[in-house]
Structure 1
Amino acid sequence: MTPEQLKLVLETALLCADEPMTMNDLRRLFLEELSVEELSEALSQIQADWSDKGMELLELATGWRFQSRLSMREYLDRLTPEKPPKYSRAVMETLAIIAYRQPVTRGEIEEIRGVTVSSNVVKQLEDRGWIEVVGHKDTVGRPGLYATTRQFLNDLSLTTLQELPMLDDASAQAESVAQRVMEFEGEPIAAPEDFSDVTDVADTSAPSVDAETDATDEQTNNEKTND
């Protein structure tokens, strides 16, 4: 098989795929045995071929996929006028804390934010497929340890957590993660059941506490004061 034929097969399969394709998936396209190096070289060439087009080939946490470039959003949005869901500051700060300090308990999140984390905030992130319980802390009550999922990485077009922005100003971390999320395009991708490839970045400084919280946080704290 010539290099051009190899690229053609890979390109076709990736364009037709409904979800990211792993190297094993791509190798199964061919009868002959192809090395990872050969596939990687072909994928790099495809990326170069599409460098000036409206779509790009990206390597994500769960494999390779084509997706539209951010510059095409204003045009594609005209086909689907539905607005993406908007998340409160409390949701985004909670997500940022989990992303930068995982694995982390709900109590630790509350300690960092300085306010109670409502169940609705956690549920929104779980329903979106961005966080999950990956274990339990060996302490009183064995609270759940939250971490981000591979779907979170896919939706932000990342391969590992170490690609999250390393910011000198810790107060900007929540806003940075929020901005990346809001720039996400495309349909949700099913998250794998395991969490073995996620890197622990607990040494990164945590997002700051902001005075502005969502209505749920304010109501919860008011109830505590009244009691």
Structure 2
Amino acid sequence: MNTAQARIVIEAALLSAAQPLSMADLRRLFDDAIDPAAMRELLAGLRSDWTDRGVRLVELAGGWRFQTAPEVAQFLARLHPEKPPRYSRAVLETLAIVAYRQPVTRGDIEEIRGVTVSSQVVRTLEERGWIEVIGHKEVVGRPELLATTRQFLDDLGLRSLDELPELTDPSAAVPSGALVEALAAVAGAKPYAGGETGASSPPEMPDPEVLALAPEPGELNDNAVEPVPAAEGNAP
């Protein structure tokens, strides 16, 4: 199989995949006959082929995928005017602390935020696939240690946590809205999720406007997700 044919196979696999494909997945297409270095050359060539199109090939923490170019998001949004959920201040601040200070316990989060972290807030982030328990801290009670997931990086279009925007003061506690700014900086790239049928579907990644901090009725009884009224013209 020549280079052109190999690119066609890789392109077809990536366009039909519902999730990013790892290097191991891509090499499996050819029974591992193509080594990692050669595979990266093929991917680089394929990425170059799609540079000036509405869909781009990118590398994320979970592997490689096609995603729509940021400049076409406002047009695609007209096909899917529904907004995703609006996450509350409590959810976003908790996620920010986990992202920038991980691994952390709920006690660590409460110390930084200065309020009790409700179970619903943590459950919301776990159900979204953005945080997970990775172990227990060796102290009295052995509290759970929380960290972000690979899904969190993939949804933000990042390869690693190093690509999160730097905090103004790394030594300070994560400020209110820090993650909102971080998400806004990277949320321009929307995933292309073709699935087995090849038909695109709107991504679930919240856009910067939706991630604006929602008002809190009370910190000790935070609503984890607040409904958003229907509106048009917002990217999914």
Check whether TM > 0.5: yes
Q: Tell me which residue corresponds to 2:184.
A: 179
Whole-angstrom CA distance in 1 between matches of 2:50 and 2:17? 17
3-state SS of the aligned residue for 2:5?
Answer: helix
3-state SS of the aligned residue for 1:215?
Answer: coil
* Root-mean-square deviation (Å): 2.3
**Displacement of 1:187:** 8.1
3-state SS of the aligned residue for 1:147?
Answer: strand
**Displacement of 1:213:** 6.9
Matches within 5 A, 1:1-20: 1-20=1-20
3-state SS of the aligned residue for 2:158?
Answer: coil
Number of aligned residues? 197
The C-alpha deviation readout for 1:94-150, integer Å capped at 9, x for no partner, is: 101100111100010011111221222111111111011111111121111110011
- Does structure 1 residue 27 correspond to structure 2 residue 27? yes
Q: Tell me which residue corresponds to 1:104.
A: 104
Question: Unaligned regions of 5+ residues in structure 2, if any?
Answer: 194-213, 223-236
Q: Tell me which residue corresponds to 2:67.
A: 67
Question: Unaligned regions of 5+ residues in structure 1, if any?
Answer: 189-211, 221-227
Matches within 5 A, 1:39-118: 39-118=39-118
Report the CA distance shift for 1:142/1:51 in structure 2 as closer, same or farther (over 3 A).
same
Whole-angstrom CA distance in 2 between matches of 1:169 and 1:87? 25
Q: Tell me which residue corresponds to 2:144.
A: 144
Whole-angstrom CA distance in 2 between matches of 1:109 and 1:139? 16
The structure, 1 or 2, with the larger RCO (C-alpha pairs under 8 Å, 6+ apart) is: 2
Asked if the contact 1:92/1:178 (under 8 Å) is kept, the reply is no
**One-letter code aligned to 1:91:** V
**Displacement of 1:34:** 0.8
**One-letter code aligned to 2:178:** Q
Report the CA distance shift for 1:43/1:181 in structure 2 as closer, same or farther (over 3 A).
closer
The TM-score with structure 2 as length reference comes to 0.75
Whole-angstrom CA distance in 2 between matches of 1:63 and 1:32? 16
3-state SS of the aligned residue for 2:135?
Answer: strand
Structure with more of its chain in helix, by fraction: 1
Asked if the contact 2:66/2:192 (under 8 Å) is kept, the reply is no
